[in-house]
Structure 1
Amino acid sequence: MKNIKFLTGIFFILAAFTFTSCDNEPIDPAIDLDDFGGGGNNGGPIVFKADFSGSTWNATTAQANISNGLISIIGARGASGEAFAFQILGTATGTYPANENLLVYTPANSEYSYWSLDVNNGQTNTGSITITEINTQNNTISGTFNFTGYWSDSTVSNILPTVFTNGVFENIPFTTDGPAPSGDTFFAKVDGVEFVEDQIDAALITQVSGMPDQISIVGSKDNGDTVSLNIVRSLPVGTYQITGPFGEEVNGKCLANDLLYTAQSGTVTISTKTATRISGTFSMVVQNFTTSETKTVSQGTFDVEYN
């Protein structure tokens, strides 16, 4: 398998997981993260921490998003891209296998990450994440996680997997996506069948320090199926190749029947672009890591406002 560069860092997760642009929620530095209990249903202190390599890691900012059949969560520390980020294929409380979802830890100043999938055997049990509470009154989410992370640069053989234990996130504020801006259009065929979306979401994703901002475009159905693109904001009009699931300029994905398919190849053409609107065409071949099944997305078009 090709090296999986997280040049978009933890923000691939945010963009791919259709985060809307918003400020990270700060964690009060005066709070002793080990000296409190739960509190999700009363707006208690925000916590995001995990144990690995003999110490406890604590986030300084955290945020989440629930939309398009997905839960997305990030806990970050500092301005060097160090963060945990999760994408969960579901929107309810419960326990989700780590190898069937995406749990990622990116060290500071790194192009690569530890992620919850053994690329040599997608069936390997790498852990789990449990959503214990989704508080719709305070718009907060809480849970626990434990997973074994595999280094994403497959050409390096001397970096062993890292085990992340005692992971806890509590009272993380979440947002949900609103309706698409008026006049937006989106079209695609998946394996020759028209993807008839119920909603179009487009947003400017502001990345962590040193990472390029992205435009996220998502067509979604009420049943949770999605077809989506991520385009680096600075790209001008032109045609760009999708070089893999973590391409440096453009990438895409599909969610179908609760399975995530990431783009392995394809093209995205930007036809027109302003400071708030973008249009173009796209096609791609997407693949599910676990089953190796592929789908072909063709005749894709988009014309959306983003902000």
Structure 2
Amino acid sequence: MSSVGAASRAFLYCFNKVEVTGLDNLLGVLDRRRNGQRDRGLLTVCNHVSVLDDPLIWGILPLRYAVDVENLRWGLGAHDICFKNRFFSTFFSYGQVLPTHRLWHSPQGGLYQPTIAQAVKLLSSPSSVIKPSDVTFSTNGSDSFVSPSIYAANRHAWVHIFPEACCHQNPENTLRYFKWGVSRLILESEPAPEFVPMFIHGTQDIMPEDRGFPRFLPRIGQRIRVMIGKPADSESLFGHYRTAWKRLVEKSGDPDLLKHDPEAVQLRIDVAKAVRDEIQKLRLSMGFAPDEDETAALADTWSKEPNKRKFKSPVDGSLVNRH
């Protein structure tokens, strides 16, 4: 974590022009959470424009934060990329990345996969009872990973998520719809995590989807802009949604019965849109034009996209990479 953080910072500031607005918003939260002084999780949410967004964007953190590993983020990484062999699996596991299946690539994907449950537990308070089945978890029935949430030091953790779940490159940096895994993190974590929205622009020029040879090399000399919003208690932002969720859980008696419940599904849709709205505020504050299509926040709007790995979206003309 420390080595990659230092390398990311060196690349950003030595070879590019970096503008960060609101860095103190994030650093203030991290300072309060140092040395285990935390009573709730931290959820940061950001748009996704480049395959190098994570770890590059964490290069904005001063080096003293990069060596405080227990106070660094847990992320969600594509199982088919980050965990495709033993070397990658070890590297990204040490990098506090959770193996995540994407439905486009795997039937094990979706918001009810074991990895999302791990992320909910990382954000939540430590459990007083650890069952033998809690020590490891499997994402597909054949692999096995140590459950980071069994360690009390990992609870009330910082989890970062890119809810668009794929690289989305558009000249106006428009947003896709946000997938509903982020809704689970907000609705089911106990207590409600602290919430910090982020917006990035410029990393798409470091690794543009239409880049030519040498495709594997990042481009330098780019202008990178990062906007970090003010921290907020998720209860204050999304409290009425959490109250509605708890009411549904009490009514059903079992959260598993709510996987396909119409009210629960609509609640997840509403929460994902509310999170997207917070990121949208940052986008607009950076001078980008408002969405022309008000339905861009809905999954149905994007269902007309082709079943391909890479394509130009018929919705907004953006370059999309599902790798």
TM-score clears 0.5: no
Q: For this structure pair, what is the TM-score category when the shorter chain's length is used for normalisation?
A: under 0.3
Q: Which has the higher helix share?
A: 2
TM-score (norm 1): 0.26
Q: Which has the higher strand share?
A: 1
Q: Which has the higher contact order (CA 8 A, sep 6+)?
A: 2
TM-score (norm 2): 0.25
